[in-house]
Amino acid sequence: MRRLYSSLVDGRGFDLCLIGIPLAFLIVLSGIPLIYNVVMSFQAVDMFSLGSFIRPWVGFENYRQLIAQPEFWPIMGHTATFLAASIAGQFLLGFALALFFWTNFPGASWLRGLFLVSWVMPGLVVGAVWNWLLSGDFGVFNFVLRELHVISGNVFWRSDPNFALWSVIIANIWLGTSFNMILLSVGLSSIPADLYEAAELDGAGALTRFWTITLPMMRSTIGALISLGLIFTLQQFDLFAAITSGGPNNASNVAQYWAWDLSFKQYDFAKGAAISVIMIAVVMVASVYYVRSTRHEVRG
Amino acid sequence: MSETFRNRLLLLVALLLAAVYLFPLYWMYITALKTGSEMFRAPPSFWPDDPQWSIFPFVFQLKGMGRFLWNSVVIASGSVALIAVLGTGAAYVLARYRNVWIDVGLFLVLMLQVLPASLMITPIFVLFTLTGILDFPRTAVILAIAAKSMPFFIVLVRATFMSVPMELEEAALVDGNSRAGAFWSIVLPLARNGILVAAILIFMQAFGEFVYSKSLIQEIELQPSSVGLNAFMGPNTNEWNRIMAFASIYVTPILATFVLLQRRIVSGLTSGALK
């Protein structure tokens, strides 16, 4: 007993205790649900069997039914559009802003940090504000576009099936641009200045310097950021709940919202689990790339 | 072009960019202050004719926001407390040693960080129903958030522990401190700032959390503000000034905290996510 106590305070036991308890917590509350999710996707789950562990085994039936649903492929397409457009928009706008703030004038770092408010705000608030900005008749976004002569009539962002997904994409780009900008700024500031001086002496123009120094030096940052963007974008749920609820008629529905909708609106937990398994596999692939590209930094 | 002129010009452009980027926030506050008819005027007014300051206490009363905010605070504080107590130790061990097992642990932590809440909620809901945790809905949400956000906390705090020199700890051990004693009185105080910043970031996240709260809490008395705001926005609502007032009351404490601690939060965040 005494030896156990002294190990806990002053030996191996101390480290094992510090790491063991959190790891056990994570395994119980993340690992087990993760595995149980896979198990559940092979079972028949209804409201009656929800409260019992033992349920009939149906093999790949849930997956088969899920893919046979007419909305499956459109929703997968929306998910791909949502991912590609959000990541491209966030990254390009973030990069442009980071390059601008890199010119380093007094107040640059403070102002740059201020942009990050879009990222720390609750997603529901961001969604509510954009829902109102994108309102068809009275939205200020339409007003600005009309004044700039981009559009002639009002666009009904949230209720027009052609634009509903884009209303969420616009809000998501706004939300994520600042985060991209901050991380890209960190990458930019770590490029040694003498590289540019040497290039300038050799007569390289601004554009050449960007292509031959900035982009290659930023490769690992950009790689990490794109995979991080993929991970964050696949986590985006609040904006869908606050702006379109996946409507109209699934026009803005994506996989991560559909999974929740199947489970908690249609009470089809088995199909909800099946689509979750598919999407979690996608996230895992992205995160392996993220972990690999940040491994050097993480190891310190 | 002199240096000062260039700096002034760049600052002006930067201010303009910030104004455009933060316009949605401005519009939230301005809409809250408008009357019902001014809100729907075309062309829209960019400054309220007659600011309706009374809308804030009115909406606060009408929607019972005290309860919603209290629940948000309970959920956020509970999550932060649990995450800080468990996560700090894990971050310390992961920072102090370097071997295969630590790499495996780090890899697991990083992988758990990326699981989307809206996909994990299905098995969590079913498991919480089976085990009866769902009878305590706010505790259930705290547990779910803790599992979701702890990896992020560990990654951030680990970066802080890496910067604490190991010699200080070794000196304390030579002086006769136990491992626990050295950790408690030397390492923790030195890492205090980093832990605090990470805790604030986690608090902000948990304060705005939506998916778990929406799915696990049925009783309206126990729901946090995010769920309250979602319920307020019906599909064909026209109460936008009231909704924006709700959103303003909800988000202003977060914005104030962020602006005050901006420098520390930004540097803490960047050290964890990439470096």
Contacts for B174 with CB less than 8 Å, ≥ 6 apart: none
Residue A2 or B68, more confident? B68
Supply φ then ψ for residue A95, to 5 degrees: -65, -45
Tens of pLDDT along A171-186? 999 999 999 998 898 8
Residue bearing tokens 């009904």:
A156
Supply φ then ψ for residue A98, to 5 degrees: -65, -40
CB-based contact B119 A280, cutoff 8 Å: yes
Is 3.40.1280.10 the CATH number for B66-233+261-273? no
Give the 3-state secondary structure of residue A281: helix
Report the amino acid identity of residue B79: S
Let me know: does A91 contact A229? Beta carbons within 8 Å: yes
Contacts for B235 with CB less than 8 Å, ≥ 6 apart: A245
Let me know: does A114 contact B262? Beta carbons within 8 Å: yes
What are the structure tokens assigned to A89, written together? Answer: 């928009």
C-alpha distance from A105 to closest chain B C-alpha (Å): 5
* Cβ atoms < 10 Å from Cβ of A207: 8
Q: Does residue A14 surpass a pLDDT of 70?
A: yes
C-alpha distance from A235 to closest chain B C-alpha (Å): 5
Q: Does residue A298 surpass a pLDDT of 60?
A: no
- Residue A102: DSSP 8-state: T
**Closest CB from A129, A221, A284 relative to B274:** A221
CB-based contact A25 B147, cutoff 8 Å: yes
pTM check: above 0.95: no
What pLDDT does A296 receive?
Answer: 54
CA-based angle B228:B230:B236, to the nearest 5? Answer: 125
Average pLDDT, chain A: 87
Backbone dihedral region for residue B116 (phi beyond 0: left; psi -120 to 50: alpha; all else: beta): beta
Q: Does residue A300 surpass a pLDDT of 50?
A: no
Q: Mutation test of the interface with chain A: which of B108, B113, B115, choosing the one with the most A Cβ atoms within 10 A? A: B115
Supply φ then ψ for residue A43, to 5 degrees: -110, 165
Q: Does residue A115 surpass a pLDDT of 80?
A: yes
Q: Does residue A3 surpass a pLDDT of 90?
A: no
> What are the structural domain ranges in chain B?
3-53, 66-233+261-273
What pLDDT does B1 receive?
Answer: 63
Rounded Cα distance between B85 and A220, Å, is 33
CB-based contact B114 A231, cutoff 8 Å: yes
Contacts for A61 with CB less than 8 Å, ≥ 6 apart: A44
- Residue A272: DSSP 8-state: H
Strand partners, A57: A43
What are the structure tokens assigned to B72, written together? Answer: 């948000």
Tens of pLDDT along A32-54? 999 999 988 898 887 777 777 77
Mind listing the domains of chain A with CATH numbers?
Answer: 60-299 (1.10.3720.10)
User: What's the average pLDDT block by block, 10 residues per block, for chain B (275 residues)?
Assistant: 84 92 94 88 85 91 92 96 94 88 84 86 90 91 94 89 86 86 89 90 93 92 93 83 94 92 81 53
> In chain A, pLDDT over 70 holds for what percent of residues?
97
Contacts for B247 with CB less than 8 Å, ≥ 6 apart: A125, A128, A129, B28, B32, B229
Rounded Cα distance between B250 and B253, Å, is 7
Residue B193 or A240, more confident? A240
Q: Mutation test of the interface with chain A: which of B46, B93, B104, B118, choosing the one with the most A Cβ atoms within 10 A? A: B118
What pLDDT does A294 receive?
Answer: 64
Tens of pLDDT along A254-279? 999 999 999 998 888 889 999 999 99
Rounded Cα distance between B35 and A249, Å, is 34
Q: Which of B97, B113, B76 is nearest to B206 (CA)?
A: B76
- Cβ-defined contacts of A212-219 (< 8 Å, 24+): A214/A188, A217/A187, A217/A191, A218/A184, A218/A187, A218/A188, A218/A191
Burial (CB count within 10 angstroms: exposed 0-12, middle 13-18, buried 19+), residue A138: middle
User: B85 to chain A: nearest residue by CA?
Assistant: A22
Contacts of A100 in chain B (CB under 8 A): 13-14, 17
What pLDDT does A295 receive?
Answer: 58
**Closest CB from B207, B243, B274 relative to A122:** B207
Residue A286 or B8, more confident? B8
Complex ipTM value:
0.90
- Using only the alpha carbons of chain B, give its radius of gyration: 23
CB-based contact B127 A224, cutoff 8 Å: no
Residues 66-105 of B with CB under 8 A from A: 86-87, 89-90, 92-98, 103, 105
What pLDDT does B106 receive?
Answer: 85
Q: Mutation test of the interface with chain B: which of A4, A16, A27, A30, choosing the one with the most B Cβ atoms within 10 A? A: A30
Distances (CA, A) of B250 to A70, A238, B146, B254: 40, 15, 22, 8
The stretch A133-141 carries a mean pLDDT of: 87
What pLDDT does B80 receive?
Answer: 96
Let me know: does A183 contact B271? Beta carbons within 8 Å: no
C-alpha distance from A143 to closest chain B C-alpha (Å): 7
Contacts for A165 with CB less than 8 Å, ≥ 6 apart: A78, A81, A82, A244, A251, A252, A254
